[in-house]
Amino acid sequence: MTCVKRASRFRLVLRATPAVGALALTAALSAPPARGADYTWPFIFVEVIDGDTIKFDVPSLPPELASIKVRLRGVDTPGIGRYAKCPSEEAAGRVATDFTKAQIWKARRIVVRDPKWGSFGGRVIADLVLDGISLSAALIEGGYGIRDHGKQTKEERKENRRKRWCSASGK
């Protein structure tokens, strides 16, 4: 009699398994799509290169990859140094760079979201999320940068930069 009870419990499980599987499949298909990868590597902040490019050292990566430049996705800030096309762009670029430095220094948690290799010299294109807030969005909302979808050629980007940040100075 004990064997019969075990056999009937086994049959009950077999009968329930397709229903459980169907329920799990339905839940998986109706779930929202997964977000891109978030990384909270133990990294060392090195420097803010400009308003939209930050350099980090990641000791846990191989030496060839341990120094990473992250270009913020979706935003373009005025250039500084040799990248500034006029004095007004240089000044605006310094303000944007200072804003980015301040945001990174005060952040308690930094997440690198959905990194992809960029087309320029080993840079990574990613979203940087500081304490739950997108740095790209903060730069745009604060007026330190503009929305950039990255679909312009290098020449188009230079010309647009002159129009945006240098038109006030007339150069």
Helix ranges (H only) for 31-115 are 87-106
Higher-confidence residue: 161 or 135? Answer: 135
Distance CA 62, CA 27 (A): 39
58-98 pLDDT tens trace: 888 888 878 889 999 999 999 999 888 899 999 999 999 99
pLDDT band, very low/low/confident/very high, at 100 (cuts 50, 70, 90): very high
Give the phi and the psi of residue 4 in degrees, each rounded to 5.
-65, -40
Residues near 126 by beta carbon (within 8 Å), at least 6 away in sequence: 70, 71, 72, 73, 112, 113, 114, 115, 116
**Domain 38-169 is of which CATH architecture?**
Beta Barrel (2.40)
What pLDDT is stored for residue 30 in this prediction? 34
Give the mean model confidence (pLDDT) for residues 162-168. 69
Nearest partner of 42 among 27, 58, 30, 31, judged by Cα: 58
Provide the pLDDT for residue 168.
56
pLDDT on residue 91: 95
CB 163 within 8 A of CB 146: no
Give yes or no for residue 14 having a pLDDT over 70. no
Residues 136-145 have pLDDT tens digits of 999 999 999 9
User: Computed over its alpha carbons, how large is the radius of gyration of the chain?
Assistant: 25
CA 169 → CA 5, 81, 90, 94, 97, distances in Å? 89, 17, 11, 16, 20
Domain edges within the chain: 1-31, 38-169
The pTM of this model reads: 0.70
